[in-house]
């Protein structure tokens, strides 16, 4: 049995947000979706990355996020923004290569970082219909690097996607280039409630990067529908600080819309 003991000072969702926020560098640009990616981005902007340049697909460019938007089209995405523009302009900026990070979630992900947010089951007669791509396909296609944040289980880490919504490394090394996508790193880090992952350079397969506190390798493998590469030495992810938790609970999401209560 794998160990996933949880520190009572924080929830798995709070840990997800805090660890993911650490990958956003001050002065970089990020195209962000709603939910967990947005929570992590807001936390980064309030801590180590005050110069983070945020894009929302509905047209907001460079806001200082005061309150949690409920969608990428929420008027709160425009607070102190550089520009209230359009989806066309923001996607054009992305296509031109000016986005450092695309920050996305997903319902399913395979071993090469390809994402499904369209359907569960057969496309013609699905068990469940999901929100679809939105701008995720465009963002992952054109951003220099993609950060993925999602909850990990055998149902979400799958050997084969029910539908390919958003490209990761596609079929492996050189897959993105063969598909005509711009040269970039593609999926860079995957953050779940159990661990952080990167991708092996030779195979483009998911590889364990760091374990979260209290989690072991057996738990990581148990909660995946495919085998995850494990290096000889694995680091431990940093635990949330008291200040990070205060910001999440009191400033960013006091109603518990994303992080819960």
Question: Could you confirm whether 57 is annotated as catalytic?
Answer: yes
Burial of 80 (C-beta count, 10 Å sphere; 0-12/13-18/19+): exposed
DSSP 195-261: EEEEE-TTT--EEEEEEPTTB-HHHHHHT-SSPPB--SS-EEPPPPPHHHHHIIIIII-TT-TTT--
Q: Which of 195, 196, 194, 172 is nearest to 186 (CA)?
A: 172
Catalytic residue among 57, 154, 232, 243: 57
Long-range pairs of 61-64 with CB within 8 A, sequence gap ≥ 24 = 61/85, 61/89, 61/90, 61/93
Cβ atoms 81, 63 nearer than 8 A: yes
Rounded to an integer, what distance in angstroms lies between the CA atom of residue 111 and that of residue 89?
A: 33
Q: Which of 161, 154, 153, 160 is nearest to 225 (CA)?
A: 154
> Starting at the edge strand that comes first in sequence, how are the strands of the sheet with 101-104 ordered?
83-84, 60-61, 53-55, 29-32, 101-104, 145-149, 186-191, 195-199, 206-211, 235-236
Catalytic residues, which ones? Answer: 57
């Amino acid at each position: 049995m794998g160990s996933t003991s949880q520190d009572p000072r924080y929830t798995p969702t709070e840990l997800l947000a805090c660890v993911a926020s650490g990958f956003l560098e001050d002065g970089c640009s990020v195209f962000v979706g709603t939910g967990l990616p947005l929570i992590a981005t807001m936390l980064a902007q309030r801590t180590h990355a005050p110069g983070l340049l945020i894009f929302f697909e509905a047209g907001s460019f460079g806001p200082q996020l005061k309150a949690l938007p409920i969608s990428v089209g929420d008027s709160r995405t425009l607070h102190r923004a550089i520009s209230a523009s359009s989806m066309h302009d923001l996607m054009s900026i992305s296509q031109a290569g000016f986005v450092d990070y695309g920050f996305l979630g997903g319902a399913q992900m395979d071993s090469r970082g390809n994402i499904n947010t369209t359907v569960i089951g057969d496309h013609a007669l699905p068990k469940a219909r999901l929100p679809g791509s939105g701008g995720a396909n465009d963002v992952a296609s054109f951003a220099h690097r993609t950060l993925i944040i999602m909850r990990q289980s055998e149902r979400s880490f799958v050997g084969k996607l029910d539908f390919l919504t958003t490209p990761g490394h596609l079929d492996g090394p050189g897959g993105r280039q063969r598909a005509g996508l711009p040269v970039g790193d593609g999926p860079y880090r995957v953050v779940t409630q159990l661990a952080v992952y990167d991708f092996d350079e030779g195979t483009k397969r998911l590889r364990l990067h760091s374990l979260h506190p209290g989690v072991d390798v057996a738990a990581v493998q148990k909660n995946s529908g495919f085998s995850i590469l494990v290096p000889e030495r694995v680091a431990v992810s940093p635990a949330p600080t008291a200040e990070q938790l205060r910001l999440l609970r009191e400033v960013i999401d006091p109603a518990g819309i994303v992080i819960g209560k």
